[in-house]
Amino acid sequence: MKYSQLFTKTSKTAPADEVAKNAQLLIRAGFVYKEMAGVYAYLPLGLRVLENIKQIVREEMNAINSSELIMTALQRKEVWEKTTRWSDDVVDVWFKTRLKDDTELGLGWSHEEPIVEMLKQYIHSYRDLPVSLYQFQTKMRNELRAKSGIMRGREFVMKDMYSFHATKEDLDNYYQSVIDAYNRVFERLGLGEDTVVTFASGGAFTKFSHEFQTICEAGEDVVYINHDKSVAINEEVVDEAVAELGINREDLQPVKTAEVGNIFNFGTQKTDEMDLYYSDSDGNQQSLYIGSYGIGITRLMGVIAEKMSDDKGLVWPDAVAPFRVSLIRIGESEAVVEKADTMYQRLTDQGITVIYDDRAERPGAKFADAELMGIPHRVTISERLLDGDRYEYTHRASGQTDILTAEELLDRLSQ
């Protein structure tokens, strides 16, 4: 893509009411637009990051045989009344609305009840099981506080997945394969080292649910971990869990974290509440075992922005960067333009994503924009290095600069 095509402009300042670092940087760099507190639009650069994160999640969910769908954002009251969760006393984040004829509707904050209801139409016998389905959905939640930028939205993208099984063993095995898949996701996003699986509250069947918590100063949670991070416990269940697991409280240190994922083993609780059954090979009616698994897609983008940034701006890891390379042309002579155009074509032909700064701007402004946007690799073409096969390469994260031949450059960028 050519920079001149970008409609967004970088800015030295963020809106005065925006206190979160992730949103300040993302707004200044032209990745997101703030509509109101907790509600953000994803602009072309931001959308590319979001899609990269989604694609990694998609590949890992497909690899554990889950199928993608999209459910509805408008939801029926009757479905949620089958459990206790239509009530605003039970769920305090509902946005509700009405049809012209006054029928009450909900705007989806979760899709657990609706998917159980939907599957009544499709699951009848043990031959129909197991089933695993997932979606990327914009969830609506009337959050009390929205001060963490895109890490806590009133409208945000979640990947939610639901699995349905004939037996407890089958669900337990699948649940473990989801933990493994989630770990691969966080690894690929560059968060593997800093993300722990914690014991958290909310488990219906097993006593605890599991959360994936990423160590992050801007996070809203506190997790107690031991030094090698092999045990991690959420603050609200720490006493209970310490007793249950027989660990010394003194061996656990509190750290600030952001919840990036949460998985639940519901056992047969939801099934029983909502009358979803299957018939076994003898024709007897049996309860279904259900798991529910979420990942905060937009929150992850915020966490990466928080953790991978410096005084110059964002520092995206290659896997999620909107473009891997920023190709900066300095000078307007025919020779410079031709050399830069040719390199743009070569990189693009190799499947490397490039933003080509073709503007007639000062070099300093071009460098500053590429740094603010966090493009991982920079290639500069200028009059100075025109003679011979030489390109200036700079690595955003380390700041290291090398003069490379075209061959060496392509080699480095295809790693």
- Answer for the pair 305, 322: CB distance below 8 angstroms, yes or no: no
**Of 111 and 378, CB closest to Mg ion:** 111
Q: For residues 118 and 24, give the distance between their C-alpha atoms in angstroms, rounded to a whole number.
A: 40
CB of 301 to Mg ion, least distance (A): 18
Name the strand (E) or helix (H) holding 168.
Answer: helix 168-188
Binding mask 369-398 for ligand ATP (x = CB under 6 A): ------------------------------
For residue 94, the partner it binds in Mg ion, ligand ATP, none, with Cβ less than 5 to 8 A by kind, is none
3-state secondary structure of 62: helix
Q: For residues 136 and 159, give the distance between their C-alpha atoms in angstroms, rounded to a whole number.
A: 4
Q: Which range, of 12-20, 149-157, 170-178, 282-290, touches ligand ATP by CB under 6 A?
A: 149-157
CB of 305 to ligand ATP, least distance (A): 13
* Cβ partners under 8 Å of residue 5, min gap 6: none
- Answer for the pair 118, 72: CB distance below 8 angstroms, yes or no: no
For residue 158, the partner it binds in Mg ion, ligand ATP, none, with Cβ less than 5 to 8 A by kind, is ligand ATP
Q: For residues 402 and 330, give the distance between their C-alpha atoms in angstroms, rounded to a whole number.
A: 17
DSSP class of 4:
G
User: How many helices (H) and strands (E) in the chain?
Assistant: 11, 23
Burial class of residue 408, CB neighbours in 10 A (0-12, 13-18, 19+) = middle
**Of 135 and 262, CB closest to ligand ATP:** 262
CB of 136 to ligand ATP, least distance (A): 12
3-state secondary structure of 217: coil
Pick one of 28, 152, 270, 324: the residue that binds ligand ATP (CB under 6 A): 152
CB of 85 to ligand ATP, least distance (A): 12
Pick one of 6, 14, 29, 158: the residue that binds ligand ATP (CB under 6 A): 158
**Of 273 and 361, CB closest to ligand ATP:** 273
CB of 287 to ligand ATP, least distance (A): 24
Q: Please, what's the b/e burial string for 326-346 (b: 16 or more CB within 10 A of its CB; e: otherwise)?
A: bbbbbbeeeebeebbeebbee
CB of 116 to ligand ATP, least distance (A): 16
**Of 148 and 262, CB closest to Mg ion:** 262
Binding mask 33-72 for ligand ATP (x = CB under 6 A): ----------------------------------------
**Of 261 and 374, CB closest to Mg ion:** 261
- Of residues 231-260, those binding ligand ATP (CB under 6 A): 259-260
Binding mask 291-330 for ligand ATP (x = CB under 6 A): ---x-x-xx-------------------------------
Location of structure tokens 């609706």:
114
Evaluate the CA torsion angle 331, 334, 339, 343 in order and state its sign: positive
Q: Which range, of 182-190, 238-246, 259-267, 341-349, touches Mg ion by CB under 5 A?
A: 259-267
CB of 323 to ligand ATP, least distance (A): 25
Max Cα–Cα distance, the chain, nearest Å: 81
CB of 158 to ligand ATP, least distance (A): 5
Q: Please, what's the b/e burial string for 235-267 (b: 16 or more CB within 10 A of its CB; e: otherwise)?
A: eebbeebbeeeebeeeebeebebbbbbbbbbbb
Q: DSSP secondary structure string, 142-159?
A: --S---SGGGS-SEEEEE
The values of phi and psi at residue 122, to 5°, are -115, -20
Number of residues in contact with Mg ion, rule: CB under 5 A?
Answer: 1
| 267 lies in the binding site for ligand ATP (CB under 6 A) | no
Alpha helices in 210-293 (DSSP H): 238-245, 269-274
- Of residues 293-322, those binding Mg ion (CB under 5 A): none
Pick one of 262, 268, 292, 380: the residue that binds Mg ion (CB under 5 A): 262
Q: DSSP secondary structure string, 79-121?
A: HHHTSSTTSTTT-TT-EEEE-TT--EEEE-S--HHHHHHHHTT
Pick one of 112, 143, 357, 371: the residue that binds ligand ATP (CB under 6 A): 143
**Of 216 and 276, CB closest to ligand ATP:** 216
- The residues of the shown chain that bind Mg ion, judged by CB under 5 A, are 262
Binding positions for ligand ATP, rule: CB under 6 A: 141, 143, 152-153, 156, 158, 259-262, 294, 296, 298-299
